[in-house]
Each structure stands twice: as C-alpha cells, then as structure tokens.
Amino acid sequence: MTSNALIIDGYVDEPACLGVAPYISPYVRDVAGVLSGHGYAPRYVTIDQVRADPSLAAACGPGDLVVMIAGMTVPGAYIGGKPATLTEVQQLGTLLRGPTTAIGGPMTFGYAPEGGRKAIRQAIAGFDVTLSGSPAVALDAWLSGGEPAGAGDYSLTDPWSVAGAPIIAQHPAFPYVMCEIETATGCSRATVGGCSFCTEPFYGLPRYRSIEGIAEEVAALHAAGARHFRLGRQPDLLAYQSSGGEFPVPRPEVLEELFSAIRASAPDLATLHIDNINPGTIARHEDAARAALSAIVAGHTPGDIAAFGMETADPAVVAANNLKAMPDDVFRAIEVVNDMGAGRTGGIPELLPGLNFIVGLAGETAATFDLNGAFLQRVLDAGLLVRRVNIRQLMPFEGTTAYDENTLGMHDARFRAFKEWTRTHFDEPMLRRVFPVGTVLSDIVIEIPGRPSFGRQMGSYPILVGIPLVLPAGSVLDAVVVGSLLITLLRASDRVHAACLAQLVNTISAIRTEPGGPAWRQSIFHPFSLTARHAAGDVLRPDLTAPTLDTAKHGTVPVLDAVATWDADARRLAVFVVNRDPDEAVIFEVPLVAFGDARLAQATELADDDRFACNTQDEPDRVVPHAHPRAAVTDGALRAELAPASWSMFLVDVA
Ligand code: SF4
C-alpha cells in the first residue's frame, strides 16, 4: 500500500551546494528515494508554488507525511526562486496540523534573514521532527523507528539518489532543471579548523563519492528527462578522490574517468558544469592542477565557471581567518585557469574563474577595501578574464570561529562603496571582454516575462540576459502544440463550432511588433493560417497506429496526432499531422485506395533542427513552412517521413 508524502522544497544554498530553482538539490532527490523505499509515492512542490497556492500543502491530511528541506548558509540574490524564510517555515508547520511533518537541511544549523546578521540555531516551531545531519539518512532512520539523525553515507544514499531521480519531473521548471550533483562532502582543511566562516567542516573530513555511484545517479536522472547537470556539491572538485593534508594533490586521471562516466550515462546532456575550485590547490600544485583543469575542459560544456572562494585581498584578513589562499595565490590561480580555459567554443569561453568575496571577517579595516579594489584592478590591467565577482556579507553560524570574531557592521559604507565600484568599474568592462559584441548566447530560458523579458542559459552562474520583448516566444515546439490543438478542435467539430484566437499581437501572440519597428509572424501563426485556409468540408477521423512516448506529465502518449478533412466539391483531401517525438523521425502512411486516382497537390512541413528556434525581429523567417522534403503519393498511399517535433500538412487532389 502506498501512502501520501509531500516534499516541500524551501531551497538550500551552502558554500558547496545550491538548490534554488532552477537548481534541485541532492537532498531533495535523496529524500524522495527514501520515501519511495518506505512505500510512499512522493509528490514535490517548491516554496514558490506553495506561496502562490497554499492549498498545495494544506490538502495533506492525517496519515500523510510532509518533509521540508530548507536553509541558506551563504545567502545570495536569486532570480529563479525565493528561499523559504524561518517565519514561512514556522507558519507552514502551524498550518500543517493534520499530517506528520519533518524538516531538514541547512536551516537546522541556524537561520538569519540576510547576510550581515548572525544565524541563530533554534528549534523550528510547528514541525513534529527535525532531521539532523543528512536529511535522507535521518529520515530513513526515523521512518525505520530510530532517532531522526544520521551522517551522510554513500553506501546508503547512492541507491536513494537513483530511486529519487524521477522526482525532478515534478519540478515546475522541468525540463529546464539543473541537477546539482554531489561528488564529496566535508573539507580537507577541517584538519586545521577550516576557514573561520565556513560550515562545510561541520561535515568533517572529505568523503568522496564513487564514480560508479555518481554515474548511476546521472543515468537515472537522464532517464527521468534531465539534460542539465552541475558537479556543484563539493568544496573543491580538483581534490576529487585525493587525500593527504590540507591541500591534496589533484588526480587528473580520476577526473577524466569521472567526466567520461557522466558522458556515457547522459550521452545527450546539454549542460555539464562545475562549481568550487580551491585556488590554494592550484597555487600549490600547479602542474597537476593544469592537467586536472584540462580534463574538466575536455569533459564539460562551455560557459563554465570555476568559483574561487577568495573572500578577501587583504593578507592580514586571510591570516586572521585561516583562509585557504593568499591574494597572490589567487592571482596565480586566475592566470592558470585563463591559460587552460579562456579558449572559446562557439564564441563562449570554455572555463573562467569566478571570485567570491566576504565582507565582515575578523581583522578587516578600511584598508581591506582598498586592497580588494586594487586586486580587481590588477586583474583588469593584466588582461585576464573573470566571469563573475560575488560580494556578500558574512552570515556567521554558531560553531564557527566567525560567530564570535567578526567585524560585522563596522564598515557598512565601505562595503556598499566596494560593491558599487565593482559593478561599475570592474563588471562592465569585464563583461564586454568576456562577451564581446556579436557573442551569441543560445538557449536562453525566460524566467521573468515582461518588457524587457529576462532569462538565463542553463549553467553555473549564467549571465542575466534582458530581451526587449514580451516573451515567451513562439518556438517550433509551440507551433507543434498549436498544430496539435487545432487537430483536436477539428476532430471535435461536431461540438466546437468556433474557436477564437484571443491574443493577436505581442503578448503570447501569433504576430509580434516593435514600437516604431517592423511586425513579424511567430511560428504559431503558420499552422493556424494554413489550417484555417485548407481545412474544409467533412472531418474524417483517422484510425491511427503510432509508436508511443513516455511523458512525465501525461503518461504514455502516441507520438502522432492527426486529422483529415474531405472537401467533396473541390475533391480535395487535407491531412494535418504532428510528430510529438522530440528526437525521432516517424514514417507516416495513409492508404488512399478508397479515393481512387489521387495526386499530391501540396506537402508542407514546419520543423527545425533546433526545436526551440523562434522568429525574431532580426530573423523573422527562421521558422516558416517549407515544402515537405520527404513526402509522396505512390501506389495508392500517401507516405512521408515526419521530422522530430514537427507539424505537417498534405493536400491530396482526387480525380
Ligand atoms: S576551504 Fe575553507 S571555505 Fe572551502 S570548504 Fe574548506 S573550510 Fe570551507
């Protein structure tokens, strides 16, 4: 018997793990695997969905189980989602009186509403159970009758990560979901106490996940529809599977094996990015680090970022906080990553460094901000490329040195001035250097519709792109969806006598314009126009036999949808058909023997190799109907090969 379980993703952000939409964290997926193993059929909603519709959570009743994952230890600015606040979490705990409730994730370490404030560890009111340590291990222990606590253990979590992979299909951004993949937890610098502010040493010394475990999870995610992956859950990817002291020597051959195994598990992946790289590792083991970076560049996808936790350019602050790298070490590491990764593929740099600064650390003085600015100016003057500079205020956690030793609130004006200077004097020229005029950014996913609409590519810290249009645009896929809808309406023409197209110009419309500029047709215009022009007479219901496609939302569906009309006066048969399969072409055959002498008068196809291609002001005719390249009427039958994700129309004249 299965029971109901709901996972509420309140989002997580830690130094070595991101789980804010469109990212989905390994915690959530492992918890889904545990729930499946205990006989639950887990559902998944994000905190953004619950905010918009509280009934999604409130519908849970007695006997149900709700598990929430939440917590920020390095809060940032987010576009894809708004993380749950402590107040929201507690309100949810109070609202959910019927079901049993459990909460886990970094929120159990402590909470502060924003950077610059101490994160206070406190009981989270309203929840029945707090999952301590690894949320999945703790949940499994508790559901098995034990205490809700337990440390991470890959022999347990690897099978759960496979079993929980299908949960990604319930993410509201699916299939544009970035799967944060775990390769390690814990930090080798825990032996020397770790950096003063960091919570990663709470997980102890590094525990590395096996390549086999990672590859099996990636294969399961890929089978569930994932195409975007980031190796983000670890403090230093260069140290993967290495040991020995504070700064283990990189093992390039192991990274090569890791990337090969991931590629084999997800052969048509679209994104494979990384996150944290310790600049101290590069500075201390330059040759091995160069070979390891080369393995990453060979195995990943372009536009990648190696995020350096630099924190400060003030040597006194580095020393006072036991940080991992002196400013000169970081500068050398920037040079090395530029050497290995600044080459461009498709106009986009392969792998560039990103720099993270923290303000409020012990030992900071006004001069620290001058040193930070001078460091960035040195990078600019050296002609180096840096993809991103992140500046945040310390959020000290209980149990870290920085909880008691910090300079929070002492240099607020300098903090704001440094941020402002960086945005105007560093980011602007650097962005022009990294993305010169003419750079093509492909596959932008619109996240904030409007005018302009804002979107980003799937990836590690992608650049925010503003497009002066009301989007989403009509892509080939949208055209196929519209074509399929028209087929459905035609088949129901005994009941549907009129169907009006409400939006004609701009917002989700068939025609797009620019103020004072041109107008152009969206791809969806064409199936609408051609169907309106050629569907005439009686509607014939085809008896279709077609392959099927497994979909997350609609179950198993036939890949073909078709309808035909017979105009007895014009003696013309019009056949409309869509191939919904995004990857495979399908052979389509219609017997015409009953119509006698038949001739193909017109065969039209709407398709594109890039199914997200759309018509724009600069390229208004990118997606237009064209003569069908693979269609004929021979031997009493219409035969055609239908391209993946395509809409086709065939007009057959009968003597
Ligand atoms: S090197 Fe420092 S910042 Fe990085 S994970 Fe270890 S303790 Fe944290």
Cα 386 from chain centroid (whole Å): 22
Is 197 in the same domain as 145?
no
Whether 409 and 329 share a structural domain: yes
Is the Cβ atom of 164 under 6 angstroms away from ligand 1? no
Burial of 454 (C-beta count, 10 Å sphere; 0-12/13-18/19+):
middle
> Residues 385, 395, 106, 185: what is their CA dihedral angle, to the nearest 10 degrees?
50
* Residue 187 CA, ligand 1 centroid: distance in Å: 6
Query: What is the atom index within ligand 1 of the atom nearest the CA of 190?
Result: 7
The per-residue DSSP string of 457-521 comes to -SSSSPPPEEESS-SS--BHHHHHHHHHHHHHHHHTTTT---------BSTT-SEEE-TTS-EEE
Phi, psi values for residue 649, rounded to 5°: -135, 135
Per-residue pLDDT reduced to its tens digit, 91-114? 998 888 889 999 999 988 877 777
Clarify whether residues 436 and 491 are in a common domain. Answer: no
Q: What is the pLDDT of residue 112?
A: 75
CATH number, domain containing residue 361: 3.80.30.20
Distance separating alpha carbons of residues 534 and 550, to the nearest angstrom = 32
Query: Same domain for 379 and 480?
Result: no
Could you tell me the distance, in angstroms and rounded to a whole number, from the CA of residue 238 to the centre of ligand 1?
Answer: 13
The alpha carbon of 323 and the centre of ligand 1 are apart by a number of angstroms equal to 8
- The CATH code of the domain that includes 121 is 3.40.50
Q: Is the CB of 194 under 6 A from ligand 1?
A: yes
Q: Which residue has a Cα nearest atom 8 of ligand 1?
A: 198
> In which band, very low, low, confident or very high, does the pLDDT at 478 lie, cut at 50, 70 and 90?
low
d(CA 255, CA 274): 12
Of 16, 29, 21, the C-alpha closest to 50 is 21
Residue at 32 is within a domain: yes
The alpha carbon of 197 and the centre of ligand 1 are apart by a number of angstroms equal to 9
Expressed as residue numbers, the domain containing 456 is 444-470
Task: Give the three-class secondary structure for 406.
Answer: strand
pLDDT tens digits, one per residue of 562-606: 999 999 999 999 999 999 888 889 999 999 888 888 999 999 999
H or E segment to which residue 418 belongs: helix 412-421
Contacts of 524 (CB under 8 A, 6+ apart): 474, 478, 479, 482, 510
In a domain, residue 463? The reply is yes
CB neighbour list of residue 440: distance below 8 Å, 6 or more residues apart: 346, 347
| Secondary structure (3-state) at 309 | strand
Distance (angstroms) between ligand 1 centre and the Cα of 195 equals 5
Can you give the pLDDT at residue 1?
Answer: 45
Is 301 among the domain residues?
yes
Output b/e per residue, 357-384; b: 16+ Cβ within 10 A.
bbbbbbbbeeebbebbbebbeebeeeeb
Give the chain's domain count: 4
**Ligand 1 close to Cβ of residue 324 (< 6 A):** yes
Same domain, 168 and 53: yes
- Residue 208 vs residues 183, 238, 261, 336, 426: alpha-carbon distances, Å: 6, 12, 16, 25, 37
pLDDT band for position 66 (cuts 50, 70, 90): very high
Query: What is residue 553's DSSP assignment?
Result: T
Q: For residues 168 and 230, state if they share a domain.
A: no
Exposed e or buried b for every residue in 616-643, given b needs 16+ CB within 10 A? eeeeeebbebeebeebebeeeebebbbb
Instruction: Categorize the per-residue pLDDT at 503 as very low, low, confident or very high, splitting at 50, 70 and 90.
Output: low
166 and 186 both lie in a single domain:
no
pLDDT in tens, 505-547: 655 567 777 767 778 888 888 888 888 889 889 998 788 888 8
CA distance 554 to 86: 36
Atom 7 in ligand 1: residue holding the nearest Cα: 194
- Identify whether 93 is part of a domain: yes
From the CB of 189, is ligand 1 less than 6 Å away?
A: yes
**Residue 17: φ, ψ to 5°:** -170, 130
CB distance 236 to 277 below 8 Å = yes
Q: Are residues 488 and 450 in the same domain?
A: no
- Report the nearest-CA residue for atom 2 of ligand 1: 195
pLDDT for 473 equals: 47
What CATH number does residue 584 fall under? 2.60.40.1180
Same domain, 277 and 426: yes
Residue nearest to atom 5 of ligand 1 (CA): 235
Tokens 């925010």 — which residue? 464
Residue 200 Cβ contacting ligand 1 at under 6 Å: yes
* Cβ partners under 8 Å of residue 426, min gap 6: 376, 377, 379, 380, 389
Quote the ligand 1 centre to 84 CA distance (angstroms): 25
Alpha carbon 443 to its chain centroid, in Å, reads 12
Residue 392 lies in a domain: yes
Q: Give the mean model confidence (pLDDT) for residues 426-431.
A: 93
How much is the average pLDDT of 453-475? 73
Shared domain for 454 and 425, answered yes or no, is no
Nearest CA to ligand 1 atom 6: 187
Instruction: Report d(CA 51, CA 586) in Å as an integer.
Output: 43
Would you say residue 270 lies in a domain?
Answer: yes
- H/E element, 372: helix 366-381
| Mutation to probe ligand 1, out of 109, 182, 195, 308 (largest number of atoms < 8 A from CB) | 195
134 and 73 inside one domain:
yes
Name the average pLDDT for the chain.
89
Residues 433 and 489 reside in one and the same domain: no
Of 390, 423, 440, the residue that ends a domain is 440
Regarding the beta carbon of 195 and ligand 1, being less than 6 Å apart is answered: yes
Is residue 216 assigned to a domain? Answer: no
- The answer to whether 265 and 307 have CB atoms below 8 angstroms apart is no
Q: What's the mean pLDDT in 479-497?
A: 74
Domain assignment present for 211: no
Predicted local distance difference test score (pLDDT) of residue 470 = 63
> pTM higher than 0.85, yes or no?
no
